[in-house]
Every structure is written in C-alpha cells, then in structure tokens.
Chain A
Amino acid sequence: MSDRLTVTVDGERTTAVPGQTVAALLIGLGRRSWRTTRGAGRPRGIFCGIGVCFDCLVVVNGESDVRACRRRVADGDEIRVQHGAENPS
C-alpha cells in the first residue's frame, strides 16, 4: 500500500491518504458542499456521516450517487461535484 493516493477533484490533482473517505478528503480541501439538490438546486454536503441520509452524493469515476461519507478514496479516483439528478451509469 502506498503512502499517498493521487486523485483529481473537479479536475484538480490532489493527494489522499489510504483509508480516507471522499467526504474527509473534500472537507480537508475546504469544501463544504459538493452536490446540488434535484429540485431547488440547494447546496448539500455531509450530513449524517454514516451512510444513512444520502445527502453527500458525489460522482466518482463517472458514477453518480456515491455516498462520499462511506466511499474510501482509491488511487486514481476522479471525483467531481454532482448537479441535481445525474443519470445513473
């Protein structure tokens, strides 16, 4: 296992630690929201933190509706914000 993982967040290259969740990575980068709601386009970020509320959804490697609080970062992940309802891949 390498010490550092290299990933991109909205196209910007950054590093993560093995075991880190996508949510912790984003919060560490100063992000507070990374999704907009389907209806009113409200910003949302982490809420329940344990996989229950489905508020912290993010797109990872092109796949939408990934819970950022539960997903562990993997080397090479491409992470980006989710706008409203994105078509499931």
Chain B
Amino acid sequence: MTANPSVTIVGAGPAGLAAARAATAAGARVRLIDAEPAPGGQYLRGDALGVQEDGRSAPDLPGEVEHFPDTEVWALEPLSGGGARLHLRTGPADGSAGAGVAAPDDGPRASVDRAVPHHAVRTIDAPVLVLATGAHDRVLPFPGWDLPGVVTAGAAQALAKSQRTAIGNTAVVAGTGPFLLPVARSLHGVGARVAAVLEANAPVSGWLRDPAGTAAGAGKLGELAGHTAALARHRVPYRTRTAVIAAHGDGALEAVTTARLDPDWRPLPGTEHTIAADALCLGFGFTPRLELAIAAGCATTGGFVLVDAAQATSTHGVFAAGEPTGIGGAALAAAEGEVAGTAAARAAGHRVAPPLSALRRVRTGRRFAAALSAAHPVRSGWKEWPKDDTVVCRCEEVPLRDLRAAARSAPGGRAFKLASRAGLGLCQGRICGRNTADLIGLTHDDARRFDRRPIAVPIRLGDLAGDT
C-alpha cells in the first residue's frame, strides 16, 4: 500500500470506533474523522469538562489510528475509481481562519492568546470509506415547540453527560422510544426535577406482539429495566399513550399541556392537563444522517442507506454502519461497524478473517431493532397537533398554513421547497424535512429531496477560498 491511510472512517461513535478497531486489527492504516474533540459520538459521550488534551474520559482508540478531532466533512464528491473525496474543516466549531485572534487595539485583554488553534480546510481522497455518521432526534411540531426551553432529548442528554448541566429546574420528558428513560435519569443525575416521562405509545403491548424480536434484545431490555427502576425510586411519573400537545411561556417555556392519545395519537378531548416546567425534552425516535452517503451516490431504501451483508453500499469502496443503515442503537451499530471495518480493510487489500461473531450480532440486533420500531412507531395522529400558525420549519419560520398554501400552488418536489422555503434554512431540512413531507403528503421521491445536501455543513466564504 502507499503511505496514504488505506481506510477512512467518518464518525467516531459506536459504529465508527468499532470499524476503526476492526480495520486496524486487519492491518489497515486508518484515519478517523469526527466533529467532536474526543471520540465516542453521542452514545459514548464522555464528560468534557476539565478533560485534558488526551481526552481522559473518552473511549480508547488503537494507537495507530490517525484521529482527526474537531473535523467536519462539509462536502463529499464521489471518486471515479471508488470511494470519495472529502472536503474537511478542522478547528473550533464555526470559527473561520483568523477569527478570534485579538486585534492590537482590543482593549485590556489583548494580551490574552485568543488565536484559534489548528484551523485548517483541506481535501483528502478516501478510496475506501466507512460512513458512520449517526443520527439525530426527531421532534414533532406542536404549538409552542419553538419556545426556548423546549429541546430534543439528545440535547438534554448531551448537556447532562458531557457538560454536567441541567437544561432546566423542572423537566418533562416526552415522545416515544426507550431513549426517553436514560435521558430522564441523566436529568435527575444533574439535579433537575423530572415532573413526568410521557410515552406516546403503549410499549408493553407493542413488545408482546413480537416476543422473538424482543428476546433478541434481552441485554438492552435489562438496561431499560434498570432505568425504569431508578425512575420509580425517584417517584418520576411514567405515563403511556400521553403526549405534550402544547407548550406555553412568555419568551421561554413555563408550562406544557399534556393529553391522552388514542391508539393513532389523536389527542382525546377532555384529557388535557397542565404541568409547570421550564424544560421540555422531546424525542420521537431518530433521523439518520444521510447527506454524505447520498452525496457519495449510495442507494437508499425506506429512508436508510442500502447495504449488503458486508455493510457495502451501492457505491464501490463506500461502506456504511450504524444508524444510517437503520435505527438500532449502540450495540447494533458497533456490530455493523466491526463488519464494515473488516470489509473495508479487505477492500483495501488486506487479508481478513470473516467477522462471524459480529455478523451474528448484526442479525440478532436487527431483529431487536425491528421489534423496537414496531413498539415505538410515530403514528399519524400527530398531524393534528400543529395548528395553522405553528412554525414547522424553524429556520425559515414557515407556519403550517404557508406549507399548505405552497403545496396547493406548487405540488411536489423542488417547486414546493422553493415556494414554501421549508428546509432551505441553515439546518437544511434536518429538523423539518420528514415532518413537512408527512404533513403535506409528499411522495417518497420528493421527501428524499430533504436529505440531499451537497454542502453537508454550512461553511464560511473565507474557508471556501482557502480550500486547496
């Protein structure tokens, strides 16, 4: 092999870390690109406060792995021979070259060194690439969901786990899925009072429908039972078939309105309750981060990257692992990462042994993931929660009324996006894309437009000029 690292991995969460370990073990030179200062991703996120340069609380990486921390892939172009060219931006988040350096006339603290370290924009070629880009929380819109104090469950978790910070004094955790439980526990751990955990589904009956799939995740269920017991000890009320359907406050969250739901998630009239809270933490499952895979030309199916048994995508030299191939949690992501890392090393010319144990864990993990998603679906009754003036696209401040008007004047596709402006803001439809598609009833192909992002992360013009 040449001096170039033979396997490039994007994302240092459970999938990317497992891929890095497997590819290294197979003899491949590995570089691991990640947006965070320390490896771990969202699930293995460590305490970031007071952590030294070596990332004390972060998961271990094999010493041979070339780790690119604080690095975002802002664009990806397929390479004709396979793999992709990656445009990278390294440095403090959203700082540009030269910014942050104290000017000479900057007053008394001009002597303080404020130079931005390690700022760089560069391009690397990755003939063999593993995409382990993870997912983010899905949140459904309802009146008041854009008030400060209303956050994703993942935001509350990240603040608690890595910043020892409670998002509020009194929190309501709502949505669907097992992730709500560890979030509630973390909130309690950093001193917040958790007023209620509201699960929109009725998961127990959901689990019973697929006993084999449920049994496949016995370890995970044990972990969830631990969370449930902890919350019971702290007397945190846990309600099923219940959701927050409105948030209230003058400039920031002060209270939420909850309601019981019918099995399709339509609010049942007369069941409304008000809970005083300054934090509302929402999670309705996860949305995979697909933009790099789509830019690489990888085929998708049902909103996820299509992979074969070796985690190979439809693009030569590009593998995918973890949530982009199907939401399944950390254990499945790690198993897929091990398979992908092994297959990537093989694609890079190394001899490998078939990762039989990881392949087995992928199979059982996917059965459990299927049971999980069957027990915690997003049901269509949520579409009755937003009102005409509820903002659906937060970036461009597009209310539901305008989405509907745009859909009437420009049905479907690109014309709808341009007419409504939904998904054209800085988040590029990451938050509103699926909700908009559901609310308007876009076709599958039109809905996929929200996942296409040629510029994966907004980048400053000055950085573009410096990209060589």
Can you list, as one digit per residue, whether each of A6-27 has a CB less than 8 Å from chain B (1) or not (0)? 1000000000011111011001
B122-154 residues at the A interface, CB under 8 angstroms? 136-137, 146-152, 154
In angstroms, Cα B52 to Cα A53, docked, is 28
CB-based contact B155/A19 at 8 Å: no
Q: Which residue of chain B is the closest to A49 with respect to CB atoms?
A: B155
CB-based contact B50/A54 at 8 Å: no
Can you list, as one digit per residue, whether each of B160-181 has a CB less than 8 Å from chain A (1) or not (0)? 0001010100000000000000
Q: Give the interface SS of chain B, mostly helix, strand, loop or mixed.
A: loop
In angstroms, Cα B167 to Cα A69, docked, is 12
Is B458 interfacial (CB-CB < 8 Å)? yes
CB-based contact A75/B252 at 8 Å: no
Q: Looking at the complex, which one of A18, A33, A50 makes contact with B155 (CB distance below 8 Å)?
A: A50
A30 to chain B, nearest CB (A): 10
Is B388 interfacial (CB-CB < 8 Å)? no
Q: Which residue of chain A is the closest to B152 with respect to CB atoms?
A: A48
Q: Looking at the complex, which one of A24, A32, A65, A77 makes contact with B148 (CB distance below 8 Å)?
A: A32
Known: A44-B146, A76-B112. A50 touches B42 (CB 8 A): yes
CB-based contact A52/B252 at 8 Å: no
CB-based contact B163/A48 at 8 Å: no
CB-based contact B397/A39 at 8 Å: yes
Q: Looking at the complex, which one of A39, A53, A75, A77 makes contact with B427 (CB distance below 8 Å)?
A: A53
Can you list, as one digit per residue, whether each of A33-58 has a CB less than 8 Å from chain B (1) or not (0)? 10001111011111111111111010
Q: Which residue of chain A is the closest to B289 with respect to CB atoms?
A: A52
Known: A42-B397, A49-B155, A72-B92. A33 touches B49 (CB 8 A): no
Q: Give the interface SS of chain A, mostly helix, strand, loop or mixed.
A: loop
Is A71 interfacial (CB-CB < 8 Å)? yes
Is A83 interfacial (CB-CB < 8 Å)? no
> A37 contacts which chain B residues (CB < 8 A)?
397
A55 to chain B, nearest CB (A): 6
Is B221 interfacial (CB-CB < 8 Å)? no
CB-based contact B99/A63 at 8 Å: yes
In angstroms, Cα B426 to Cα A72, docked, is 20
B176 to chain A, nearest CB (A): 18
Q: Which residues of A contact B (CB under 8 A)?
A: 1, 6, 17-21, 23-24, 27-28, 32-33, 37-40, 42-55, 57, 60-63, 65-67, 69-72, 74-77, 88-89
19 A-B pairs besides A27-B159, A46-B159 with CB distance below 8 A are A19-B37, A20-B49, A24-B163, A28-B165, A43-B252, A46-B148, A46-B167, A47-B155, A47-B394, A50-B136, A50-B155, A52-B427, A53-B394, A54-B425, A63-B100, A70-B35, A75-B113, A75-B114, A76-B113
8 A-B pairs closest in CB distance: A49-B155, A70-B93, A76-B112, A54-B426, A24-B163, A33-B148, A45-B148, A19-B48
